[in-house]
Structure 1
Amino acid sequence: MIKLSKRLQTIADLVTDGSRIADIGSDHALLPVYLVQSGKSPSAVAGELPDGPFLAAKKQTAEAGLKSVIQVRQGDGLSVLNPGEVDTVTIAGMGGSLMADILEAGWRSGKLAGVTELVLQPNVGEDLVRRWLISKGFVLQGEMILEEDGRIYEVLHAWSASHLKLNHDNEWVYQTSILSVDMEDETKTEWLYRMGPYLLRQPSELLTKKWQFELGKLSRICQQLTLSEAEESRGKEAQYRAEMKQIKEVLACLPTVKPSSS
């Protein structure tokens, strides 16, 4: 059986057993091949747009002897799908803005009809993906954070609200009371989107590490801004320092977080 990276294995583990999947931006089709080989998915669609990854996906599928159950299709985003032919969509390895655009285009064109599960791994801009999910009635069921090759990744797992039989919904997921900080609810909600409501409920060293890195980046930006005499720079510096203050406050209220005193 094909061996996946830690990042792709995390995604694969979240896919529901027995679901027909579509992997968008599938690259070498490693994820669909693994899911079918392992018996977790009966069939799959691997979507790619550039010629190179598309041909690589076709080769991988053929070498695995799975051409009859994995369809490799060339096209932009969810355009490769027919409504109702898959249960789960996975998208990984791209920015959150692009991912949200792909999902929105698929939603508007009806390509997500019948899709009940989404497993998404944005490289950056995770908050944009969370906002898209809630705007379309998808409810986060969990979030994972992992580190591989020096990079920290978040994986979001969501179900369509219309197919849920659970006792919580988006209102529960984004409950601001989980943050015991002196902020307006609107500001708390913003940080739930940015940091992840499940990740904040069960904080980890990796979550701390990710946001300490962000603090360092913002600090360096502020240092650069102090060298500028432009009035606009003063405003930006104040904005970034306020953001840093809020990050530190959120980290400080989490039980396992020990923010730097610098």
Structure 2
Amino acid sequence: MNSHILSQRLAAVAEFVPRKARLADIGSDHAYLPIFLVRAGKVDYAIAGEVAQGPLKAASAQVKRYDLEEKITARLADGLTAIYPKDQIDTIVIAGMGGILIESILTNGQKDGSLKGQRLILQPNNHESDVRHWLAANHYKIYDEQIIEDYGKFYEIIVACYQENSHYTSKELYFGPVLMQKKTASFQKKWQKKLEIKQKVLRNLKNAHRVPKDKITAEKRQMAWIEEVLS
């Protein structure tokens, strides 16, 4: 398996995994990411966590196909319960899920003790700002971010580590503190599209009856933020 097997999205996620990491890939999708990283010599050991039997069988079959059973364990588990203390996991990837589900997985991981300050590499398919709010509220510092466009859809990757003192403004959590500094072409393209959508939404809200004023105010505030960050 080479990088061409990975989607552009997963290849970008792989770049953020540190060398010699002990990795837990939650919702592993055929274990493509762990297999690629182990075969590339970047990761020493990995867990491919799956919540259902079908995906687990698919992941196990791929691991066996590449003769990597000693370095990759496909495990049936709900979220971070895939991680056992003996695994000594230091890096967690949760990619290709909705942001609300990622929040839930992290919250449950805190409750059951499986989340213990490991490096987090998160790639939500939506609700990215909600994920950042969770990280900020739970003392995680966002060290890096990337936005990519893959088949016409924008994906954001958020890399965070536990740190007691980490503070962000509402605007930073909305755009991403690192992304709004980088202002890449993909970032600008995404938010230009978002601005156009919000302009249409605002026009519709103004023409509608009994729309709460706070909703209109929130849309206007976000539009002002977008215009500012694109300037």
Task: Give the C-alpha shift of residue 233 in structure 1.
Answer: 5.8
1:131 aligns with 2:110: no
Task: Give the C-alpha shift of residue 84 in structure 1.
Answer: 5.7
Judge conservation of contact 1:131–1:193 (CA < 8 Å) in 2: yes
In the alignment, the residues of structure 1 paired with residue 229 and residue 137 of structure 2 have an alpha-carbon distance, to the nearest angstrom, of: 25
Match of 2:104 in 1: 101
Match of 2:179 in 1: 199
In the alignment, the residues of structure 1 paired with residue 217 and residue 132 of structure 2 have an alpha-carbon distance, to the nearest angstrom, of: 27
In the alignment, the residues of structure 2 paired with residue 66 and residue 51 of structure 1 have an alpha-carbon distance, to the nearest angstrom, of: 20
Match of 2:149 in 1: 147
In the alignment, the residues of structure 2 paired with residue 220 and residue 58 of structure 1 have an alpha-carbon distance, to the nearest angstrom, of: 47
In the alignment, the residues of structure 1 paired with residue 155 and residue 214 of structure 2 have an alpha-carbon distance, to the nearest angstrom, of: 31
* Moved beyond 3 Å, runs of 4+: 233-239
Report SS of the residue matched to 1:73. Answer: strand
Judge conservation of contact 1:225–1:233 (CA < 8 Å) in 2: no
Q: Identity rate of aligned residues, in percent?
A: 38
Q: How does 1:26-105 map to 2 (within 5 A)?
A: 26-83=28-85, 85=87, 86-105=89-108
**How many residues of Structure 1 are paired with residues of Structure 2 in the alignment?**
228
In the alignment, the residues of structure 1 paired with residue 63 and residue 204 of structure 2 have an alpha-carbon distance, to the nearest angstrom, of: 50
In the alignment, the residues of structure 2 paired with residue 119 and residue 127 of structure 1 have an alpha-carbon distance, to the nearest angstrom, of: 15
In the alignment, the residues of structure 1 paired with residue 129 and residue 213 of structure 2 have an alpha-carbon distance, to the nearest angstrom, of: 27
Q: Specify every segment of 5 or more residues in structure 2 that has no aligned partner in the other structure, as ranges.
A: none
Q: Specify every segment of 5 or more residues in structure 1 that has no aligned partner in the other structure, as ranges.
A: 163-168, 175-188, 253-262
Task: Name the CA shift for 1:96/1:84 in 2 (closer, same or farther; >3 Å).
Answer: farther
From 211, 215, 240, give the equivalent of 2:219.
Answer: 240
AA at the equivalent of 2:104: D
Task: Give the C-alpha shift of residue 91 in structure 1.
Answer: 0.5
Q: Deviations over 1:56-105 (max 9, x none)?
A: 11111111111122111112111111136211100001111110110111
Task: Give the C-alpha shift of residue 238 in structure 1.
Answer: 4.4
Judge conservation of contact 2:16–2:121 (CA < 8 Å) in 1: yes
Task: Tell me whether 6-15 or 126-135 shows the greater mean CA deviation.
Answer: 126-135
From 13, 20, 23, give the equivalent of 1:11.
Answer: 13
Q: RMSD across aligned C-alpha pairs, in angstroms?
A: 1.9
Task: Give the C-alpha shift of residue 17 in structure 1.
Answer: 0.5
The normalised TM-score by structure 2 is 0.91
Match of 2:196 in 1: 216
Structure number with greater Rg is 1
